[in-house]
Amino acid sequence: MTGKTLVAFATKGGATEEAALEIAEVLRKHKLEVDTVNLRKEKDTDISGYENLVVGSGVRIGRIYNEYHKFLENDFGKKKLALFIVCGEAGDPKDHDKVLEKHMKTTLGNHAHLKPVEFEVFGGRMKVLWKVVSDGRDPAKVRAWADKVSKKFGSKK
């Protein structure tokens, strides 16, 4: 293994990509070598050269994107895996735990073979007719989670 980390994400409105790039930046600060991939653009991503994977998806109308589920069908072997979801309802702190539990059940129910070292939900942004009507993004929360993930991935910093 090379110790490399892949941050893979499925996004439609851009909030998940923003979170993924923030995570990648934090992991790099922890001395991890990081690549990113948009699963909606690159359908067949080779994970063989990676020791660590962070995989995230947005949610639209209550549904996690298909590209996320398809990617999670991979055999990750002994790779360390962290998962995240970005959705509007996760931006409200009083709903966080309920939203986290819902998306963990959906993900792990569909992919029972997965054993993530971390799973988190982050607030997203909702647009209607290209206008932002709700914005629950919290970059500080994303960065704090990425710090935690870096330790689980064995960063030296």
CATH label of the domain that carries residue 111:
3.40.50.360
Asked whether residue 78 is domain-assigned, the answer is yes
Asked whether residue 22 is domain-assigned, the answer is yes
Structural domain of 89: 5-152
Asked whether residue 157 is domain-assigned, the answer is no
SS (H, E, C) the chain: CCCCEEEEEECCCCHHHHHHHHHHHHHHHCCCCEEEEECCCCCCCCCCCCCEEEEEEEEECCEECHHHHHHCCCCCCCCEEEEEEEEHHHHCHHHHHHHHHHHHHHHHHHCCCCCCCEEEEEECEEEECCEEEEECCCHHHHHHHHHHHHHHCCCCC
pLDDT band (50, 70, 90) for residue 62: confident
Asked whether residue 92 is domain-assigned, the answer is yes
Model's pTM, two decimal places? 0.93
- Tens of pLDDT, residue by residue over 10-51, are 998 889 999 999 999 999 999 999 999 999 999 889 999 999
Instruction: Please give the tally of structural domains in the chain.
Output: 1
Asked whether residue 109 is domain-assigned, the answer is yes
